[in-house]
Structure 1
């Protein structure tokens, strides 16, 4: 049996990505939670950690803790899950926009922190974060057009959709204005059964991290 270590379902976008990858791969796994008072978990949630210690997947003799690395390992073990597109050009596009999400958009992360339970209608986005939003929407529109939708790389969700899933949650939380095409994509991701399962888990989570709202 595999074990996936995660932190808060309400606040941790990286935990969500790792968890979705395992679900999409069809991997049977146990969840292990990092205690909310763990200093490494707090650092990750407050964007203070230079490296993310969660999610961490232990599978047989493999231990892997970076989200892209988890996706790569699971794609190799479960190729039928389609986490990485079979076509070389499409796969290159998938990896490129996934890598951009993995290493970029710092202004978006800090200005619109993950908070699944919260709702901020009419939230005012500052200019630095808006530039990140504009770039993400450009990526979405271009990918949906190039590959025909309904997901970023075509007919089925893959690594790229997982990498942008927390953004869909942020856009919902902070009432980010979207055009019809990108709003439909956001809603499609939010409606995925695995995403709904994660959201339900976030709402069941105790309010132990309320102070995070004021620390960002």
Structure 2
């Protein structure tokens, strides 16, 4: 049985993007099912697959997994030859830490700057709570790049789950024309040049806008 990923709109569903990029890191074949968000029957359609009524959800021959971080961990264990996590123990622990931070934090940034891959317009004013989170984000990226990024342009050199988790944030910074320090500019460009992300981005441009 091939892996099957249930996702929301590619334009808007940041958590779906994370799971898709994780799957792309494995190189394994998978099928994809897109459920349109913010429709009258969206929750009912998702509940057919996911007990939480949310996406993403990964269907495997062993059963379903319904959280993006759990999906990443499952894939890392199932495909140990794929570099989903850094190989060395300490960088791997830091990568897990930054993924967990992304998973549970940056609430203001995600609330005020929702992912929209068709948007190209700054906010009239960036709320102060977002500015605080942006400073933490820039410091985190710069620290990962300085300590672990010698092998390439991604947070830990080569692309990993850390980049899958922060890719939707990178899109927000570009979509909302956020002023960035030079290190963040370079990292956002790295995400946009990532072939796995480019495939998702092109598909998003072909989607109809949510009514």
Separation in 2, partners of 1:40, 1:24 = 29
Give the 3 Å change call, closer, same or farther, for CA 165–52 of structure 1 in structure 2: farther
CA RMSD of aligned residues (A): 1.9
1:47 match: none
Work out the number of aligned pairs and report it: 201
Normalization by structure 2: what TM-score?
A: 0.90
Gaps of 5+ in 1: 44-50, 211-216
Residue 40 of structure 1: CA displacement?
A: 2.9
Aligned ranges for residues 113-192 of structure 1 at < 5 Å? 113-121=114-122, 123-149=124-150, 150-154=153-157, 156-192=158-194
Residue 104 of structure 2 corresponds to residue 103 of structure 1:
yes
Separation in 1, partners of 2:93, 2:10 = 30
Conserved 8 A contact 2:35-2:45: no
Residue 85 of structure 1: CA displacement?
A: 1.4
Conserved 8 A contact 1:7-1:41: no
Aligned ranges for residues 55-134 of structure 1 at < 5 Å? 55-121=56-122, 123-134=124-135
Task: Please identify runs of 4+ aligned residues in structure 1 that moved more than 6 A.
Answer: none
Separation in 2, partners of 1:79, 1:5 = 23
Give the 3 Å change call, closer, same or farther, for CA 53–122 of structure 1 in structure 2: closer
Residue 148 of structure 1: CA displacement?
A: 2.9
